[in-house]
Structure 1
Amino acid sequence: MFHAVVLEKHKKILGEDHPDTLFTMSNLEHGVVVWEKQKRILGEEHPDTLITMSDLAFIYQRLGQSIRAEELGAIALEKRKRILGENHQATLITMSNLAFIYQSLGQCIKAEELGTVVLEKRRRILGEEHPETLTTMSDQAWIYQRLGQSTKAEELGAVVLEKRKRILGADHPETLITMNNLAFIYQSLGQCIKAEELGTVVLEKRRRILGEEHPETLTTMSDLAWIYQCLGQSTKAEELGAVVLEKRKRVLGEDHPETLITMNNLAFIYQSLGQCIKAEELGTVVLEKRRRILGEEHPDTLTTMNDLAWIYQCLGQSTRAEELGAVVLEKRKRILGADHPETLITMNSLAFIYQCLGQCTRAEELGTVVLEKRRRILGEEHPDTLITMGDLASTYERLGQLSRAEEFGTVVLEKRRKILGEDHPHTLWAMKSLHRTYQASGKLDEAVSLSLLIENIEGTDN
C-alpha cells in the first residue's frame, strides 16, 4: 500500500516519465513497463536501464523462464563490461546473477567459469574476507555441488563457515545460512551423521534466536527431516515433516508455496516408508492446488506431476505413471527445451517406468538419449550421469545383454568409489547392482567377492 501511495504521488507531482516515478514502479514489479520507458527516455545503456534489465532477468528466473532470463542477463553483462569495465561492482553483480541463471538452466560448467571469475576479482579488489567475497565463495560452493564436485563444495563451504563464524559470530544469520548449506553438502557426500550434527545446531540456534515458528526455523526443520531420511530414519523424518507442515499451514496458510513444498516433501517421505496411499493423497492435493494457483505448465506444477507419477509407480499403477510421465515430458520439452535438467530428469524417470512395465526396448532407447545428453552437458562423472548409467545397466540386464550390463555397472562402481568413497550409500547400491549382474552371468567368483565386500561395509556401518 505504501508503494502504491508513493507511486501515485510521484505520477501526480513529477509525472509518469520522471526517473523517481520509474524507480517506484520498478519496486512494484512493473519491470517490463519501466524498462520500455527507460529505454525510450534514458537510453539503452543508461545505468538505471541496465539495473532494470538485470532485475527483470531475475523476475523471469523466478517465473521459471530461465532462457529469457539468460538472454537479458547476458545483454546486461555485455553492456556493463563495455561501459563500466570488467572490475566494476555493478558488472560483478551482473556476472554473479548470470552465473546463478546458468546454474538453474543446468549449464553448471558455464556457471562455474563465470563464478570463478567473479570470485577471483572480488578476492583481489575487496579482499579475502569481504562480505561480497564470502557470498561469492558460498555461491561457488553450490555450483560445485551441482557439478557433482561435492568434495570441492565441502572444502569451500567449510572455509566460508570458519570466516563467517570469526567475523560475524556463531549466531549471525549469514553464519547460520552457511552452516545449513554445509549440512546439505555433507548429506550429498553421504556424511549424514555430520549433516545431522550441523543441522541440529542450526535448528537449536534458530529456535532460540528467531522462535519456533519463524520461516527460517521451519526451513531448517524441513532440511533436518531430509537428513533423517538420508540416515534411513524415515519415521523421524515423517514426524518432523508433519510438524513443519502443520506449522506452515497455520502460519502461512494452506496454499502458500512453502506449505506446498512441505506437503510435496512429506508425500515423498510417505512413499519411502511404503505408505503410498497417504503419499498419493497428499501429492494429489498439492497437484490440484498448484494447477489452480500457478497454472498447468508452471515448473512447480510439472514437478508435482512428475513426483505423482513416481507415487503411482510405487502403488503398482505403472500405466497411470507412464501416462502422467509422458505428459510432463512433452510439456517440459516444449517449455524448457530437450536438454534442460528438468526435462532430462523426466526422461530418466519415464525410462525407468518403461522398464517396470517390461517395455525394456523403449526404456533402453530413452535412457540412451538421456545418457548422451548428460555426458555432453554435465560430464562423465556427474552424479546424474552415473544414475542414468546405473539405470541403463539394469535395463541391459533385463534385456539379457549381460556383457553391456556388466560394462556399465563396472564403470559406475569405479567412478563412485573414486568420487564418493567405498562406503557411500550410492557406491553400495552400485556394488549390489553389479553383484546381481555377476550372478546372472554365472560369474560366481566375482559375485562372492563382491558379496563379502558388501557384507563387510554394511557390518561396519551397523
Structure 2
Amino acid sequence: MKSEPNNSGQPGAASWYEDEDALLGVARTVRLPRRTPNISGYDSLKELSRGGQGVVYEAVQRSTRQRVAIKVLLAGALATPAQQRRFEREAELAASLRHPAIVRIFDSGVTTDGFAYLVMEFVDGHPLDELLRELLPDEGRQAAIKRRVEVLARVCQGVAHAHQRGVIHRDLKPGNVLLDANGPHVVDFGLAKLTGGQESIEVSRTGQFLGSLPWSSPEQAEGAIDGLDVRSDVYSLGVMLYQAATGTFPYEVRKSIATTLENIKTAQPVPPRQLSRAVDEDLQTVILKCLAKEPARRYQSATELADDLLAWLAGEPVRARRDSAWYTLRRRAKRYRRVAWVAGAFAVVLAGALGWSVYAFGMVSKARDMASEEAANAKRAESFLEHMLQAPDPKNQGRDVRVADILDTAAGSVEEQFKDHPLSAANAHSLLAGTYSALGLYDKALPEYEAAEKQFIATLGADSDEALGAKSGRAACYYELGQVDKSVQVAREAADRARALFGEMHQRTLDCESVLSVSLDAAGNMKEALPLKESIAQRTEKLKGPAHDDTVNALNNLAVAQIHANQADKARATLNHLLDMMVKAHGEEYPDCIRMMLNLATVEKNQGDYAAAEKHLTRFAALAPKVLGPDNPDTFVGLSNYGDLLLKQERYDEAKKVLEATLEDQRRVLGPGHRTTLGTLNNLAMACDDLDQRELAEKYHREAYAGIIKAMGPDNVQSLISTANLADALVRYGEVDEGEQLLAEMVPRARKKLGDDHWLCGVFAGNLARAHLAAHRLDDALAAGEYAVDVLNKTLGPANDRTQSAVQRLGQIHEAMEAEIRSGARRL
C-alpha cells in the first residue's frame, strides 16, 4: 500500500465526514509519537501518511530488498497480554488471505515501545475515493458508471474471499481501496477487529460505533458490535456502489453525527434513478438490495453481490430481480435485439410456462421466509470461529499457537457447540474444511467435509447445493492426498448429480466437473479428462468471459491435460499466453501466476528447453515459499521439479541436495505416503543412480515403488512410471530377471490403460527392449524395440532425445543379432 488516504466523500465545503482525524478526535486519548520507529528487519522507513488508525511508512525489507508498507497502529490497542495474543492470532488469520483484490499482510509484531505494526504489500496507486470524487460526465455517463462498477465487482470478489475464511472487514470505504494498474486492492482487512475498536467513536453508554460513519451499516450505527456479520460489509459496499452510480450518498451525511447516525438507521435511500437516468433498473435494484435496513433482506454474502454485478456487466439477468419471468425474457431480448423478433413467435409457448414459474417462485418465497434463520445459522458458525480465535492461551500449551492449532480446537467442539442447530454445525464444518484446505492441510479438511456433507444432507437434502459442494470438496481432498481412484468415484457422483439438477452451465456443475477432470487426469484417463477439460474451459469462458479468473484457471487445467496428452506445443502456447495476461493483470507475486510458471517450466523441461525451464523454475523457487508458503504442496512440487531439471542438466550433486532437502520437508509436513513426497523420492533415487550410489538408489527406488503402488494402485500413471524406473535400475544393476519380469507384466497394462499410441508406452517398451537385450532374448527385444521407435517417432518426433535413445537401442539389438549370425548361433 502506498498511503492511508483521507476518508473523503463528494466535492463541497469541508465537513466532519471528510476528515477522519477530526471525527475520531472526540474519542482519541492517545497519539503516535512523531519519531520514526525502529523495526527489526526493515530499513529506510519513510513516513507516507498519518490517519485514523496510525502511521503508514514506506520501507525496504532487508532479507528480500522489496518495498513494503508498514502500518504502525495506535498505542493502547494492546494494553494487556491477552489483547496482544489476540492481535497476533487475528493478524495471522488476516495474513492468510490470498486474493489479488486484497493487500497482503506479510508480517506483524509489536515495537519495543508497545506499538503494534503490520507489514503489508506496497501498492503504488491512489485511493478509490479520488475516482469517486470525480464528477460523472454528461456524455458517456453510462460507460463511466460501468467502469466504476467493474472496479467494485472486483472489490466484492476480494471481500467474498475474506468472508469465506471468516474475516470481516467492518470498515469498508473508498479510502480503504487502492487502485493501480492491476486493479483495486482493499487495505486494512481485519484492522477493525485487530485493534479492538480503539479507533471507534463512543455514541452511547451502551453501544460503540465501529467503522467509518458515512459507509456504515444500520447495525453499526446502533452500536451492535457483537451483531456484525458479512452482511454489514455488504451494506458498506452498497454505499460505495451508490456513490459510484450517482456521485453522492444515499442519504444526508453532512450534518451532525447524531443526525447522520439516525439517517443510517432509518432514512430510506433516494432511488438512484431519481438522481441519474444513466442508472438502469437492474443496477438500481442491486444497489437498493445492498442498502436494505434489515440484514436478512440484503444479499446474504459478498459472493452473491459480486455475481449480480458481473451479470449486470455482461448484460445478463440479475438474481435480485429473478422473481419476474417476464423481466428475464425482456432482459435477454434487450441483449439479443436481433433475435428478439424470432423469439416473439414463441411468446405464447413461453407464456404457457409461466404458470409453473409463478408456482415455483411461490415456493421460493417460502424459502425466502427462511432467510433470517439461514443467516442466523451462518452467523453462529462465524461467531463460533471468532470465539475460538480468542480461546487458546500459548502459556498453557507451551508453544506458539498457529491458526491451524485454533482450527483443531474448533473442530473438536463443533458438535457440542451446535447440538441444537444442525445446519449451523454443517456451516461450521464447511467453514473449517475450506480454511484447512486453504492452508494445505487436506488430511484435516477431509473429515470436516465429510461431517459437513452428512449434516447438509440431513438438513437440506442430498440434492442441495451445499451438500454437493461438500461432496466435491471431499473429492478434492482425496485427490490432494493421493487417493486418486476414490477421488474419481466421489467427484463423478457429484458432477453427474449437479449436471442433472442444475444443467451444464451452472457454477456448481462446473466446480464439480473441474474436480472430476483433475482426478481423471491424475488417474491417467486422458480419454475422458482432456475433452472434459476442453468443455469446462469453453463453458467457463462463455459464462465468465476470457479474462475472468475462473476462465484462466480452466485453461490452465486444460494445459496440464495437454502436457499429459503429449500436446506440448498447445500447452506451451496456452500457458505463455495465460502467464503474460495474469502478470499484467495481477503482478508476478500472484498465486496463480506462480503455479503457471511451474506448469510452463514442466512443458519446457519435457521439450528439452532447459534454459527456459530453469528461468521459470528459479523464479518459482524464489516466489513460491513467500507467496504460497514454504510448506505448501505446490511449493514442494516445484522444488522437486527443479531437482529433476538439474538431473537433466547433469548437475547431479546440486540435484541431490535440492531433492534431499525437499524430501525432508515433505515427509515432515505431508507425510511419507503423500503422492508429491513419493514423486520427490523417485527423483532422488534417479539422482543417486546418476551419482553411481547404487545402494541408496535401489533403496529409494524400492521405497518409491512400494509407496506409490500402495497409495495409487498398480495401474495409475505414476505407478507405471515408478515401476519402469525401478525395473530399469535393476536391469542396469545386473538384477535382470526381476527387472525384466516387472516390465513384461507392466507394459501390456500400460498399453491397455493409456492406449497403444501413447508416448509413455513407447518409453516403457524401450525399457523392456533393453531388459530383453540384457537377458539375450533378442526376438522379444526386437519386437519391443521396433514398437518403441514407431510410437516415439509418431508422438515425440525423430529429434526428441527419447526417440533417438530408442533408435540407438534398436541398433544395438540389430548388432547383437548380426553377431549371433556371424557366430552361427542364429540362422538367417
Aligned match for 1:138, one of 461, 472, 482: 472
- 2-structure distance, mates of 1:284, 1:366: 26
Q: Which amino acid aligns with 2:571?
A: A
Aligned match for 1:281, one of 611, 615, 622: 615
C-alpha contact (below 8 Å) 1:54/1:94 kept by paired residues:
no
SS at match of 1:161: helix
Change (3 A) 1:437 1:81: farther
Shift of 1:242: 0.6
TM-score of the aligned structures, taking structure 2 as reference length = 0.44
User: Does structure 1 residue 197 correspond to structure 2 residue 197?
Assistant: no
- 2-structure distance, mates of 1:215, 1:385: 33
User: Does structure 1 residue 249 correspond to structure 2 residue 588?
Assistant: no
- 1-structure distance, mates of 2:492, 2:666: 36
C-alpha contact (below 8 Å) 1:154/1:185 kept by paired residues:
yes
Aligned match for 1:398, one of 712, 732, 740: 732
- 2:514 corresponds to: 180
C-alpha contact (below 8 Å) 1:106/1:341 kept by paired residues:
no
Shift of 1:193: 5.0
Change (3 A) 1:460 1:86: farther
Q: Deviations over 1:137-160 (max 9, x none)?
A: 323443554577766655544443
- 2-structure distance, mates of 1:51, 1:362: 47
Shift of 1:367: 2.4
C-alpha contact (below 8 Å) 1:161/1:175 kept by paired residues:
yes
C-alpha contact (below 8 Å) 1:106/1:340 kept by paired residues:
no
Change (3 A) 1:413 1:92: farther
Q: Which amino acid aligns with 2:586?
A: L
User: Does structure 1 residue 438 correspond to structure 2 residue 772?
Assistant: yes
C-alpha contact (below 8 Å) 1:147/1:382 kept by paired residues:
no
C-alpha contact (below 8 Å) 1:367/1:392 kept by paired residues:
yes
Q: Deviations over 1:6-61 (max 9, x none)?
A: 54695545579x99469779x99xxxxxxxxxxxxxxxxx97675348899xxxxx
- 1:41 corresponds to: none
Range with greater deviation from structure 2 (334-343 or 235-244): 334-343
Q: Which amino acid aligns with 1:280?
A: E
Change (3 A) 1:106 1:376: farther
- 1-structure distance, mates of 2:483, 2:657: 35
What percent of counterpart residues are identical? 20
Gaps of 5+ in 2: 1-170, 173-188, 210-222, 234-379, 391-400, 797-828
- 1-structure distance, mates of 2:448, 2:626: 38
Pairwise mapping of residues 244-393 of structure 1 onto structure 2 (< 5 A)?
A: 244-290=578-624, 300-334=634-668, 336=670, 338=672, 340-374=674-708, 384=718, 387-393=721-727
- 1-structure distance, mates of 2:563, 2:614: 19
- 2-structure distance, mates of 1:384, 1:49: 44
- 1-structure distance, mates of 2:549, 2:661: 34
Aligned match for 1:51, one of 385, 407, 429: 385
C-alpha contact (below 8 Å) 1:396/1:404 kept by paired residues:
yes
Q: Which amino acid aligns with 1:207?
A: E
Range with greater deviation from structure 2 (113-122 or 232-241): 113-122
SS at match of 1:274: coil
Aligned match for 1:126, one of 453, 456, 460: 460
C-alpha contact (below 8 Å) 1:76/1:94 kept by paired residues:
no
Pairwise mapping of residues 34-73 of structure 1 onto structure 2 (< 5 A)?
A: 50-52=384-386
Aligned match for 1:88, one of 396, 402, 422: 422
SS at match of 2:413: helix
- 1-structure distance, mates of 2:774, 2:443: 39
Q: Which amino acid aligns with 1:437?
A: A
- 2:569 corresponds to: 235
TM-score of the aligned structures, taking structure 1 as reference length = 0.74
- 2-structure distance, mates of 1:152, 1:427: 25
Range with greater deviation from structure 2 (327-336 or 295-304): 295-304
C-alpha contact (below 8 Å) 1:105/1:340 kept by paired residues:
no
Aligned match for 2:503, one of 169, 192, 199: 169
Change (3 A) 1:50 1:390: farther
- 1:409 corresponds to: 743
**Greater per-residue helix proportion:** 1
Gaps of 5+ in 1: 29-45, 57-66
Q: Which amino acid aligns with 2:516?
A: L
- 2-structure distance, mates of 1:71, 1:380: 37
- 2-structure distance, mates of 1:376, 1:86: 42
C-alpha contact (below 8 Å) 1:148/1:382 kept by paired residues:
no
Change (3 A) 1:93 1:454: farther
Q: Deviations over 1:246-295 (max 9, x none)?
A: 10011011221211111121111111111111111122222233456567
User: Does structure 1 residue 220 correspond to structure 2 residue 554?
Assistant: yes
Change (3 A) 1:248 1:355: same
Q: Which amino acid aligns with 1:224?
A: L
Shift of 1:224: 1.7
Shift of 1:342: 3.8
C-alpha contact (below 8 Å) 2:465/2:508 kept by paired residues:
no
C-alpha contact (below 8 Å) 1:326/1:350 kept by paired residues:
yes
When the two chains are superposed, the root-mean-square deviation of aligned CA atoms in Å is 4.6
C-alpha contact (below 8 Å) 2:730/2:736 kept by paired residues:
yes
Change (3 A) 1:98 1:208: closer
SS at match of 1:442: coil
C-alpha contact (below 8 Å) 1:291/1:301 kept by paired residues:
yes
